[in-house]
Structure 1
Amino acid sequence: MNARSPHVLTAISLVVAVLAVSSSAPLIAFAAAPALAIAFWRNGLAAVALTPVTLGPRRTELAGASRRALIFCVLAGVALAAHFATWMPSVKLGSVATATALVATQPVWQGLIAAGQGRRPSAAGWLGIAFAVAGAAWATGVDVGVSGQAVLADVLAVLGAIAAAVYTALGEQARATLSTTTYTWICYGTCGVLLLLVCVVGGVHLTGYDGRTWAAILALVAGAQLLGHSMFNYALQRTSATTVSVLILLEVPGAALLAWLWLDQRPRLATLPGLALLLAGVLVVILGATRANRSAVDPVLTD
C-alpha cells in the first residue's frame, strides 16, 4: 500500500488539477462582473495569498535573485496580463467551449516561437500546427455566420493563446533560477498591478458585485489559479511533462461540459468537428515536441 501511495496521490492530484482548471471559463462566464475586473482580482488575490510564503520562508531567495531573473519575471507578468486581458473577455463574448479550445492552442504558438529561435518543429509538429490552424479556422468560420461578437471572441481567444505562449517562454527563463512560489508571486503581482491600472484608466468597476459573483471570483483564485497550478506542479515531480500537457487538454471538454450543465451553454454542433481537429493538432504538436526533445538529448533515438 505504501509503495502505491505516491502513484495514487499523483493520480488524485491530476484529477483535482483538471477539474480545477476546467472550472475557470464557466466561473468567468457566470460571474456578473467585467472580465478585466475578474482578471485583476484573480491575480491580485493570488499574489496576496502567496505573500506570506514569499516574504517568509522564501525571502532569502527573493533577496538573492539576479537582475536577469527578476526582469524575466516582470516581463512574464506583462505577458500574463495580456493573456487574461484578451482571453477572459473572449469567454464573456462567446461560448465557453470555443474560447477554451482556442486558448488551448498555446503549444502551437510555443512551437512557432521555438522555430523563430532556431529550434525548428519536427515534421509531426508542423503537421499538428496545420491541423490546429485548420480546426481554429473551421470553428471561427462557423462563428462568422453567428455574429460579429462571436468572431471577436474567437480572435481574442487566439490572442490570449499567443500571449500565454510568450508568458511560458519568458517564464522558462525565470524559472531556471527561481522557485515556483517566488516566480509566480512576482508574476501575479506584476499582472495584477497592470490590470488594476487598465481598470482604473478604463473606468471598470472593481466592486459592488453580488455575493454569487464574489464567490465565483474566490473560487477562481482558490481553484484554477492556486489549486490547479499547484496540483500540476506536484504531479510534474512524479510524472512526465508530456502527460501533464496532454491532460491539460481535458480542460476543453471539461469546461464545455460544465458550461452545458451549469450555464445551459450547448456547444454549436457545426463547431465540434473544427474543435476536435484543433485539439488533435495540439496533441500532435505536444507529442512531436516531446519526441524532438528526446532525440536532442539522446541522438541514438531515430524515427
Structure 2
Amino acid sequence: MNTKKSPIPVAVLMLIGIIAISFSAIFIKWSSAPASVQAMYRLLFTSLLMAPFVRPYSGALSALRLKDWMLLTASGFMLALHFLLWMGSLEFTSVASSTMIMALEPVFIMIGSFILYRERSTVSAVAGLGVAIVGVVFIGWGDIGLSSDNLKGDLLSIFGTAAVAVHLMIGKKLVARMPSYLYSLVVFIIAGVVFALYNFGMGIAFFDYPPKEWGIFALLAIVPTVFGHILFNWLLQYTSATTVSMNILGEPVGASILAYALLGEQLTGLQWGGGLLVLGGLGCYLYMGSRKAARVEERKFIHPQELQTLPESAS
C-alpha cells in the first residue's frame, strides 16, 4: 500500500497533467509540418530534456541483454507508429473524435492481455468497454455524415490506439526489470530514430521550417510530454495506477473544450452522444478495475486460515 505523500496535492497535479496532454492535439492542428516531422522533434527534444538526469541509471543500461534491446526496439517502433497514425488522423477528423477514439486504449490492452497473459476481466468491466465501443461507432457514424475524410481520420486514430496499446504492453514487461525513466528515454530515442529514417526515406525535409513550427515542436515536447505523460509516471509513486489512468477520460474532455475555444470545432449530437458513451463505458471499466485491485490488495493481508472461510464470490 502506498504511504508516500505528494509535496503538492495529487488532484492538482492530475489536473495540470490533463490540461497539458489536452493541448497535444491543439498544437498538432496548429502546425503545418508533416506529422512525422512533428513527432520526430517532439521525441528528440523530450530526450534532450531527459538526458541530463539519466546518469544514476547507467548501471541498469549496461545490464540490458540482447533480448531487452530487441523488445525496446519493438516498443519504440510501435510508439513511432502510434504517433504517425494518431497525429496523422488529426489532418482528417476533429480533435474530439480522434481523442475520444484514442481513449479506447484499455480495450486493446484488455484484448492483448487476455491473448498473451490470459488475464481475465470482470463481466462488468467488459460490459463497460462494450458500451465504449458502441460510443466509438456513434462517433464514426456521425463523422460519415460530415465527410469520408472524417471517417478516414477515425480509422487512423483506431489503428494508432492499437499501436500504443502494444507499446504499453511491451513496456509493462520491460519496466519489471529496468527503471521506468530509463525505459522511457531509450524508447523515445529509438522512436525518434525510426522517424528520422522514415523522413529520410520519404524525402521529407528535416530543417526547412519557419520559427513558428520550431516553437510548436518545442511545445509538444514540453507541455503534453513533460508536464503530461512524464508527470503521470512520476505520480505513480504517490497514488495508484488506476487513479493515474483516469487521465484517459480527462484528455478527450479537455481537448474537446480547447478545440471548441481555440479552433472553433463543433460536434454533431450523434458525436456528443457517442463521446458520452465512450467516457461512461471507460469510467465503468476503470471503476470495476479499481474494485478488483482493492480486493486483491485486501486478500494479501488475510491469514490463510481466514482465507479458507471466505465465500466463493470473494475470489
Q: TM-score, normalised by structure 1?
A: 0.92
Give the drift of 1:5: 7.6
Amino acid in the other structure paired with 1:291: R
Hey, what's the Cα distance between the residues in 1 that align with 2:47 and 2:287? Answer: 33
- Mean alpha-carbon deviation: is it higher for 268-277 or for 226-235? 226-235
Aligned AA (2:15): V
Q: Which whole-Å CA distance do the structure 2 matches of 1:289 and 1:65 have between them? A: 32
Instruction: After TM superposition, give the deviation of residue 265 of structure 1 in Å.
Output: 1.5
Secondary structure of the 1:38 match is: helix
RMSD: 2.2
Structure 2 counterpart of 1:111: 110
Distance 1:42 1:269 in 2: 34
Residue in structure 2 matched with residue 11 of structure 1 by the alignment: 11
Q: What do residues 228-273 of structure 1 show as CA deviations (whole Å, max 9, x unaligned)?
A: 1222122221111111111331111101111111111223333100
C-alpha deviation, 1:19, in angstroms: 1.2
- Compare 208-217 and 289-298 and name the one that shifted more: 289-298
Letter of the 2:18 counterpart:
V
Q: Displacement, 1:178?
A: 1.4
Which residue of 1 is the match for residue 304 of structure 2?
none
Task: Show the counterpart of 1:245.
Answer: 245
Q: Which residue of 1 aligns with 2:217?
A: 217
Is 1:125–1:289's contact at 8 Å kept on the other side of the alignment? yes
Residue identity opposite 2:24 in structure 1: S
Give the letter for the 1:128 counterpart.
G
Distance 1:296 1:5 in 2: 23
1:109 touches 1:165 (CA, 8 Å); kept in 2? yes
- Identify the residue that residue 150 of structure 2 maps to in structure 1: 150
Q: 1:68 and 1:287, CA in 2 relative to 1: closer, same or farther beyond 3 A?
A: farther
- Where structure 2 has 5 or more consecutive residues not aligned to the other structure, the ranges are 300-306
Structure 1: runs of 5 or more not aligned: none
In structure 1, what is the equivalent of residue 73 of structure 2?
A: 74
Say yes or no: does 1:228 pair with 2:228: yes
Partner residue in 2 for 1:90? 89
Q: Whole-Å Cα distance in 2 between the matches of residues 268 and 97 of structure 1?
A: 11
Task: Give the structure 2 partner of residue 58 of structure 1.
Answer: 57
In structure 1, C-alpha distance between the alignment counterparts of 2:239 and 2:177, rounded to whole Å:
22
Q: Which amino acid aligns with 1:111?
A: M
What is the distance in 1 between the residues matched to 2:59 and 2:17?
30
Q: Are 2:168 and 1:168 equivalent residues in the alignment?
A: yes
CA offsets, 1:61-85, max 9 Å, x none?
Answer: 2112233333322221111011111
The superposition leaves residues 10-45 of structure 1 with CA deviations (integer Å, 9 ceiling, x where unpaired) of 233212211111110111111121111111111122
- Pair 53,8 (structure 1): closer, same or farther in 2 beyond 3 Å: closer
CA distance in structure 1 between the partners assigned to 2:193 and 2:7 by the alignment: 39
Shift of 1:105: 0.5
How many residues get paired? 300
The answer on whether the counterparts of 1:79 and 1:167 sit within 8 Å (CA) in structure 2 is: yes
Whole-Å separation in 2 of the counterparts to 1:75 and 1:238: 30
1:155-202, Cα deviation, whole Å (9 max, x unpaired):
000111111111110001111111122101110111111111111212
Letter aligned with residue 184 of structure 1: S
**Does the C-alpha gap of structure 1 residues 288 and 68 become closer, same or farther in structure 2, counting only changes over 3 Å?**
farther
Distance (whole Å) between structure 2 residues aligned to residue 9 and residue 153 of structure 1 = 37
Distance between the aligned counterparts of 2:285 and 2:207, measured in 1?
A: 42
Q: Which shifted more, 101-110 or 257-266?
A: 257-266
Residues 80-110 of structure 1: CA deviation (Å, up to 9, x unaligned)? 0111111000112210011011011001111
| TM alignment of 1:29-68, pairs within 5 A | 29-54=29-54, 56-68=55-67
Q: Which residue of 1 aligns with 2:302?
A: none
- Bigger CA drift: 208-217 or 142-151? 208-217
Q: Which amino acid aligns with 1:176?
A: A
Q: Aligned to 1:58, what secondary structure does the other structure show? A: helix
Shift of 1:296: 4.8
**Contact 1:33/1:209, CA 8 A, preserved across alignment:** yes
* TM-score, normalised via structure 2 length: 0.88
Q: In 1, distance between residues paired with 2:268 and 2:34?
A: 25
Structure 1 residue 7: Cα displacement: 6.3
Where do 4+ consecutive residues of structure 1 move more than 6 Å? none
CA distance in 2, matches of 1:45, 1:137: 36
